[in-house]
Amino acid sequence: MTEPTAEKILDTKLYKSWGLSDEEYKNISENILGRLPNYTEAGLFSVMWSEHCSYKNSKNVLRKLPNKSKRVLAGPGEDAGIIDIGDDQAIVFKAESHNHPSAVEPYQGAATGVGGIIRDIFSMGATPIALLNSLKFGNLDNTHTKYLASEIVSGIGGYGNCIGIPTVGGEISFQERYKNNPVVNAMCLGIINHEDVKYGKATGNDNLIVYVGAKTGRDGIHGATFASDEFTDENKTQRSAVQVGDPFMEKLLMDACIELVHKHSDWIMGIQDMGAAGLVSSTAEMASKAGSGLILELDEVPQRETAMTPYEIMLSESQERMVLCVKPEFKQDIIDFFTDKMLDAVVIGKVTSDGQYRIYQHGELVCDIPVAGLVDDSPEYKHVGVAPERVMSQEAKKQFQPEISSLKDTWLSILKQPTIASKEYFYKTYDSQIKANTVVKPGSDAAVVRVRNTKKAIAMTNDGNSRLVYVDPYIGGQITVLEAASNLIASGATPIGITDCLNYGNPEKPEIFWEFNESVEGIASACKKLEVPVISGNVSLYNEFNDEAIFPSPMIGMVGLISDIDNVTTQDFKQSGDLIYVVGDTGNDFNGSELQQMQTGDVTGLLNEINLEKVEETQKTVLKAIESKLLQSAHDLSEGGLAVALSESAFANKLGFDVDIQMNSAKLFSETPGRFLVSVAPENKDRFEELIGKLGTYIGEVSNSKSLKIKTSDSNAQIDFNDALSNWKEAIPCLMK
């Protein structure tokens, strides 16, 4: 095939099929280049200016998120953010979405999502120590959803298990809106000494650009553009845009890069992974950060296939590849170093000082464009948001009033709702214990991983209750942050940083943009209140199928520091006779709740305003109780409310309970945010009650009777431990059959 000429691209508007608008094309031709871009150049602009790479539709919203604190060493803009944890150590973390690839090729889509986020961490020089994920699927009532769920989970496990990083936590939920567009967000956290931090910069005239890792093939071309478009019945099988992962190759690459940073830091100026938009994005961003130019010789790029065009080589998203900027005197050292690790390292270009991005193939100049034009001059769109009817109607102001005809039946039913039920069926296929540092394993409020040879531990959680964000984006956004913080606090950690994945529909639709903007404002307000910065993350827009968007689905990956590992607390009741308290007030919060979904098949109505002061006070008091060693267990109250939290706390150690909540039965299922369920040893009763004051309400005791007993102001119910457990534990295996 011969490539169309620049004039032909203009005449046929070929650029439009790559996602460039007429205005964008005109801007490139008239203002940036002063001439028409050739085929390769137009391709590079289209991918670098896609939403996925440029955030053109979202950056003015993302600026609302706070990203600074005393601990932040690096924030958004790098491969991942970095936060100080004392003793000259830091943690590096980021989350990324792989929704579109997972929809069309679920195993590889999810696997390469994991592979990509791991590269973002070790490219900073950090050693990855934990993986988490947040998954949203359609309802498990059809073979397609079961296939997606099963393959996506296998892909995540297949990659993480092989590379040897524990998958320690996450969340999975189910809702009809995700049937053809699942949400697959993966997070990785690494640890690093301050002195070893490396940034993705191509700096210093005549320094070399070195390509390391797997060869470049035709897989994943235009993956970033693909991720910035909607799905329809016609394009749902765009498999050529999905990459194929090789965790073995990445293991070699990871170990080699970490060793290089530790032992030969002086050889390299910068290091960056090739992720979305492959070679072009990684090298152009490295040059942009340093204000440099680059010359690339494509004949040197290791290629898996023959006769690849510059366009294909530059846009390929083949996995397990890195770019280094190396001082020329260490050229042979670098090549020998990687050869010893069974990896190809090849010099493919050099840094220049003129700010131009030049590419040669077969001795011909095939691209000559300013780096700044490609990276920094991408457009920025300010969309107008319009609130949808569902939040503006009079009806929306009403609070759903559930009727509980049988407390026992409602309780047993809610335990087997897939979003509530045990996810062990899925997470048991992840190696959660490799590295022998996992202190709190999957199935808890937050995962906890210790930092070897210190008293410290890191708590991590992924949270996103998209039902709440759907019914009320601003307050739902606030709750997402509060919920994540509560999960960390219940484990004994102080929240110190956030990475996010913001998953929404098409932002060019006013109602979708409104959801996006409102929920980010809600997130920002809660982050500011709790003083937790957002240090990295990603945006995934255009999550639609046949014009119907997913629920607005911001995922908050929050990380906390536990300075003394002895303070790690779990949600499980420990001993019969321990006293049970609810901390925080329970209101009538049923809109968007699990109970509303279960009873009506839908979620509707606005949420009650949140008193952030009060929630913060509650969280700080619970953390103080944990640090004063007054709590046996602590559990955040969320989906399904108190009834679910009580049951979950009982399961692990096969204990029962006997409580009298002195509220009506419905309130057992209320989802008022900012509440905890805690248990206290009898000898600590007085000290605990003095600390907790009016925030805490005593409701009963842990028992060893193998029976779960609840008395309310209008009913009482008793269920056998094994009945409750089997409803909760067997629901998902049963649905997946």
Kindly indicate which of the ranges 204-212, 314-322, 438-446, 707-715 contains the residues binding another protein, using the contact rule CB under 8 A: 438-446
The residue (of 99 and 432) whose beta carbon lies closer to another protein is 432
The residue (of 215 and 251) whose beta carbon lies closer to another protein is 251
* Residue 629 makes contact with another protein by CB under 8 A: no
| 340's tokens | 């010893």
Instruction: Report 482-541 residues binding another protein (CB under 8 A).
Output: none
* Residue 307 makes contact with another protein by CB under 8 A: no
Return d(Cα 147, Cα 141) in angstroms, integer.
11
Least gap, CB of 660 to another protein (angstroms): 35
Structural contact between residues 546 and 232, judged by C-beta atoms closer than 8 angstroms: yes
* Residue 431 makes contact with another protein by CB under 8 A: yes
Structural contact between residues 99 and 513, judged by C-beta atoms closer than 8 angstroms: no
Return d(Cα 354, Cα 277) in angstroms, integer.
23
| Residue that the structure tokens 């607390």 belong to | 569
Nearest to 79 by CA among 279, 274, 256, 209: 274
Instruction: Report 142-161 residues binding another protein (CB under 8 A).
Output: 154, 157-158, 161
CA atoms 720, 725, 730, 731: torsion sign = positive
Least gap, CB of 439 to another protein (angstroms): 6
CA atoms 598, 601, 603, 605: torsion sign = negative
The residue (of 443 and 592) whose beta carbon lies closer to another protein is 443
Q: Which residues contact 471 (CB under 8 A, 6 or more apart)?
A: 390, 391, 396, 591, 592, 603, 604, 605, 606, 607
Least gap, CB of 491 to another protein (angstroms): 14
The residue (of 10 and 162) whose beta carbon lies closer to another protein is 162
* Residue 320 makes contact with another protein by CB under 8 A: no
| 441's tokens | 């394993």
* Residue 443 makes contact with another protein by CB under 8 A: no
Strand partners, 359: 296, 367
Structural contact between residues 400 and 589, judged by C-beta atoms closer than 8 angstroms: no
* Residue 162 makes contact with another protein by CB under 8 A: yes
Structural contact between residues 512 and 549, judged by C-beta atoms closer than 8 angstroms: yes
Binding residues for another protein, rule CB under 8 A, total 30
Radius of gyration of the chain (CA): 26
203, with CB counted inside 10 A (0-12, 13-18, 19+), is: middle
The SS3 call for residue 97 is strand
Angle between helices 247-263 and 106-122 (to 10 degrees): 0
Kindly indicate which of the ranges 25-33, 129-137, 313-321, 431-439 contains the residues binding another protein, using the contact rule CB under 8 A: 431-439
CA atoms 697, 651, 467, 75: torsion sign = positive
Catalytic residue selected from 98, 222, 383, 635: 98
Least gap, CB of 286 to another protein (angstroms): 28
The residue (of 161 and 715) whose beta carbon lies closer to another protein is 161
* Residue 342 makes contact with another protein by CB under 8 A: yes
Return d(Cα 516, Cα 471) in angstroms, integer.
13
Q: Among this protein's residues, is 194 annotated catalytic?
A: no
Kindly indicate which of the ranges 243-251, 269-277, 319-327, 653-661 contains the residues binding another protein, using the contact rule CB under 8 A: 243-251
Catalytic residue selected from 52, 222, 383, 635: 52
* Residue 13 makes contact with another protein by CB under 8 A: no
* Residue 246 makes contact with another protein by CB under 8 A: yes
Binds another protein by CB under 8 A, chosen from 193, 413, 429, 704: 429
* Residue 651 makes contact with another protein by CB under 8 A: no
One symbol per residue from 693 to 712: x for binding another protein (CB under 8 A), - otherwise; what is it?
A: --------------------
Within 10 Å of residue 701's Cβ, how many Cβ atoms? 17
Binds another protein by CB under 8 A, chosen from 199, 400, 430, 657: 430
| Residue that the structure tokens 């940083």 belong to | 497
Within 10 Å of residue 709's Cβ, how many Cβ atoms? 17
* Residue 450 makes contact with another protein by CB under 8 A: yes
Least gap, CB of 249 to another protein (angstroms): 8
Q: Among this protein's residues, is 52 annotated catalytic?
A: yes
Nearest to 534 by CA among 557, 550, 554: 557
The residue (of 253 and 325) whose beta carbon lies closer to another protein is 253
Structural contact between residues 28 and 373, judged by C-beta atoms closer than 8 angstroms: yes
Structural contact between residues 257 and 271, judged by C-beta atoms closer than 8 angstroms: yes
Least gap, CB of 625 to another protein (angstroms): 21
The residue (of 158 and 402) whose beta carbon lies closer to another protein is 158
Binds another protein by CB under 8 A, chosen from 218, 262, 408, 441: 441
Strand partners, 635: 677
The residue (of 258 and 279) whose beta carbon lies closer to another protein is 258
Least gap, CB of 431 to another protein (angstroms): 4
The residue (of 140 and 162) whose beta carbon lies closer to another protein is 162
CA angle at residue 265 from 259 to 269, to 5 degrees? 125
Least gap, CB of 450 to another protein (angstroms): 7
Binds another protein by CB under 8 A, chosen from 35, 263, 398, 428: 428
* Residue 140 makes contact with another protein by CB under 8 A: no
* Residue 656 makes contact with another protein by CB under 8 A: no
Binds another protein by CB under 8 A, chosen from 91, 252, 314, 489: 252
* Residue 163 makes contact with another protein by CB under 8 A: yes
* Residue 398 makes contact with another protein by CB under 8 A: no
The DSSP bridge pattern shows strands 447-450 and 544-545 to be: unpaired
Q: How many helices and strands in the chain, by DSSP H and E? A: 26, 28
Nearest to 557 by CA among 65, 132, 123: 132
* Residue 652 makes contact with another protein by CB under 8 A: no
**Single-letter amino acid code for the residue at 175:** Q
* Residue 247 makes contact with another protein by CB under 8 A: yes
Instruction: Give the catalytic positions in this structure.
Output: 52, 98
Residues making contact with another protein (CB under 8 A):
154, 157-158, 161-164, 246-249, 251-252, 342, 428-439, 441, 450, 452, 565
